[in-house]
Structure 1
């Protein structure tokens, strides 16, 4: 009987190593979930990257242009949209460790003009409120045509709740965070992203500004009516969106955030604001934790594409899923795909 299991193993798998079998299981799980997603005809393509125990698996499906059968590949550039905020969070975490900023700082000490409106009943907006969507700032800046008008618009904001007490998603706050980081480091924000994140992690395909060749491989996405949508036109610093990346670079970004020896990573994952029994906001990361799981995640949605980027530190797993479709339910649908994919690969 003791020889039965090895004999059965080799009968089924031949001379394949355990690593090869695990990789095949991950590939099968990706294929299964991707094809199920594409059964919904509102979706046209999907790229999925999985990092499990240091081994990466990337697969692409569908077509980038309806009717062209041109499926994405490892060089395809996607807009990361709000997943860009996690880059802002990482640099903010570094700034805290570098003692350039403090989470308890009143943000007005970093601004050139006076903003008496940046408080509620004497409680000022602090750095920690900017990075956890608890500042009371509106979702979109009152003015965003350029950086000068951005600051003009800030004067129009009225804070109606005590900062730090209520979560309200804000695209205004991360842009102001990016400006503050630019000011304390005395370098353009785009340069900070490159210096602190992209270069150290060899993320050579991730960038804000695109050259002529980059634009030919940038995804042009659709809405649910199969109408071609425009790409995002960045007019501010890029704290909320504007980064473009590939699946291969996102695997490198997974490796960064799975590195428990990195103090900046650990700081960026620190729980700052609790919402509900098992949900926290960190440095632009959403953290879900209970007795059975720990998840760091962020969603990104723009006019013609959406993505989820998820880290499971206890299982040493990262998942990125990107599609060239964007409509109201896309994020929820992709979230379910990620959850199902995680269950499929974690049992192997």
Structure 2
């Protein structure tokens, strides 16, 4: 299986590639090889949310029901509603997984959200039962960010990828980052693999792409790291503002934020799908960062710790 790493030190990238783009094909990945990045996509969604706030399309303190059609009396607890910011910092109390995901005739365990629609998302929301005040307890939720993505699409009247392309990909020359890979030759792609080393399809997230549908390269993600470190874009800077937690450990708008023992500020997000994993860390004070992309489910935690130590 394949592994691609990019280290950024003082804004300069260093690329390292290992393994194969598909088990047995002998092809080494490079910095233009496209991997699934899974939930790293959520950090892009956070920046789009920040842009919507600056454009006065959305307010972080708004009750999310302001942006939903129909009645959802269940999306509050003792009179306290779920707010937009609760969707973006995983304190909404909306469940991690879609409750009606398995009920579809088209459900495929290898591609669990293929053909999952907005209508199913809204039906799933009616099944939510709040158990505590929103905004108080962290609990990671894919469904919450999927919902946030639909709210952003409606606010702008544009699909998710168009918003990401306009606000992030084009300005930062991330030309190979995409959702649709149908037109690409196999040689461009690091195919996902199951634990038995068998190639499996990339996940199709249907009409809920904001939680994890992007695919990217280490070359593009270096540009993304540098953009986040620079914080010259007001939307990027706003997405890094802490909305939950402490100075040592907290959440921005879909960014995990913490401080190292020697006082450095870290922004991070990773992802995992059925057969791919990703990690990204940004160190704005050092103009440094790293990204790890793999096309397997191999544990990357020890490697990430070693690379973080190199950056610091």
- Contact 2:230 2:287 (8 Å CA) reproduced: no
Matching of residue 126 in structure 1 with residue 83 in structure 2: yes
> Matches of residues 252-331 of structure 1 in structure 2 within 5 Å?
252-274=223-245, 278-290=248-260, 292-326=263-297, 330=299
Taking the aligned partners of 2:86 and 2:185, their CA distance within structure 1 comes to 36
Taking the aligned partners of 1:219 and 1:180, their CA distance within structure 2 comes to 32
- Contact 2:191 2:200 (8 Å CA) reproduced: yes
| Structure label with greater radius of gyration | 1
Q: 2:189 aligns with which of 218, 243, 250?
A: 218
- Contact 1:132 1:272 (8 Å CA) reproduced: yes
Structure having the higher helix fraction is: 1
Taking the aligned partners of 1:319 and 1:344, their CA distance within structure 2 comes to 10
Residue 18 of structure 2 is matched in structure 1 by 61
Q: 1:207 aligns with which of 178, 195, 220?
A: 178
Residue 217 of structure 2 is matched in structure 1 by 246
- Contact 1:190 1:237 (8 Å CA) reproduced: no
Deviations 1:178-200 (A, max 9, x none): 11111111212221111111111
- Contact 2:21 2:189 (8 Å CA) reproduced: no
Taking the aligned partners of 1:215 and 1:139, their CA distance within structure 2 comes to 32
- Contact 2:176 2:220 (8 Å CA) reproduced: yes
Aligned CA RMSD, in angstroms, stands at 1.6
> Matches of residues 44-193 of structure 1 in structure 2 within 5 Å?
44-144=1-101, 145-193=116-164
Residue 316 to residue 117, structure 1, CA distance change in 2 (3 Å): same
Deviations 1:148-182 (A, max 9, x none): 12111111111111101111110111111111111
Taking the aligned partners of 2:293 and 2:19, their CA distance within structure 1 comes to 12
Taking the aligned partners of 2:129 and 2:187, their CA distance within structure 1 comes to 43
Give the match's secondary structure for 1:314.
Answer: helix
5+ long unaligned stretches in structure 1: 1-43
Residue 104 to residue 210, structure 1, CA distance change in 2 (3 Å): same
Residue 343 of structure 1 is matched in structure 2 by 309
Residue 17 of structure 1 is matched in structure 2 by none
Taking the aligned partners of 2:93 and 2:306, their CA distance within structure 1 comes to 35
Taking the aligned partners of 1:318 and 1:344, their CA distance within structure 2 comes to 10
Give the match's secondary structure for 2:238.
Answer: helix
The TM-score normalised by the length of structure 2 is 0.90
Residue 19 of structure 1 is matched in structure 2 by none
Taking the aligned partners of 1:173 and 1:160, their CA distance within structure 2 comes to 16
Taking the aligned partners of 2:289 and 2:185, their CA distance within structure 1 comes to 26
The TM-score normalised by the length of structure 1 is 0.81
Note the C-alpha offset of 1:215: 5.2
